Amino acid sequence: MDINEKVLLLAILKKESNETLNDIVLKLEDTGLFSFKEGKKLLKKLKAEQFISDSFLTLKGEAIAKNVEQEFKI
């Protein structure tokens, strides 16, 4: 898993209840992490790999996101 996927999963874990996945991609685009188009591709890939279902993390996605959070705290 590359760094962009990890950051996206973590951002989804930390998202506000009123935010959509597109809002998260737009926020990360504003930081310069990736373009909106690249972000949408990453979302599609993470959905295909069953890390995301609808607009929420799956149990698998949440576990990975929490590991990423610990990884970034170091």
Span 51-56, mean pLDDT?
92
Span 45-66, mean pLDDT?
95
pLDDT, tens digit (0-9, with 9 covering 90-100), for 23-44: 999 999 999 999 999 999 999 9
- Are residues 50 and 58 in contact, defined by beta-carbon separation less than 8 angstroms? yes
Q: For CA atoms 24, 47, 42, 10, give the dihedral sign.
A: positive
Q: For CA atoms 74, 39, 41, 17, give the dihedral sign.
A: positive
- For the entire predicted model, the pTM comes to 0.92
Q: Is pLDDT of 73 > 90? A: no
Matching residue, tokens 């998202």: 15
Say what percent of the chain tops pLDDT 90. 91
Residue 52's SS3 state is strand
